[in-house]
Amino acid sequence: MSDVLTRPQEGETVGGIAADRLRSIIERVERLEEERKAIAGDIKEIFSEAKGAGFDVRTIKAILKLRRLEPAQVEEAETLLDIYKRALGM
């Protein structure tokens, strides 16, 4: 049973898996997840700053979403929004 719990030596393969490679992948993902948390905190601060300056955060987020799209996609989304609003009498 102790064989199952021992840490593999460098370069060792366990159950057909290169333990060092697997560890490296997992550790890289963990580092990136930490960076993502830090970046999310920075973004939250920027939105707080925008709100404090009198900007509407929901509108800023909508603009950011539109800026990620291709111009044709933006036009299509705006056209559909207009059609749906007219259909609802807005």
Ordered per-residue pLDDT tens for the chain, 90 residues: 455 556 667 666 766 788 889 999 999 999 999 999 999 999 999 999 999 999 999 999 999 999 999 999 999 999 999 999 999 999
Same domain, 48 and 10: yes
Give the model's pLDDT for residue 89.
Answer: 96
CB of 8 closer than 8 Å to CB of 19: yes
Give the model's pLDDT for residue 19.
Answer: 87
Same domain, 85 and 46: no
Segment holding 8, helix H or strand E: none
Q: How many domains does the chain contain in total?
A: 2
Same domain, 27 and 9: yes
**Helix/strand number for the chain, H first, E second:** 4, 2
**How far, in Å, CA of 12 to CA of 14, rounded?**
6
Same domain, 62 and 24: no
Domain housing 33: 1-55
Overall pTM surpassing 0.75 (yes/no): no
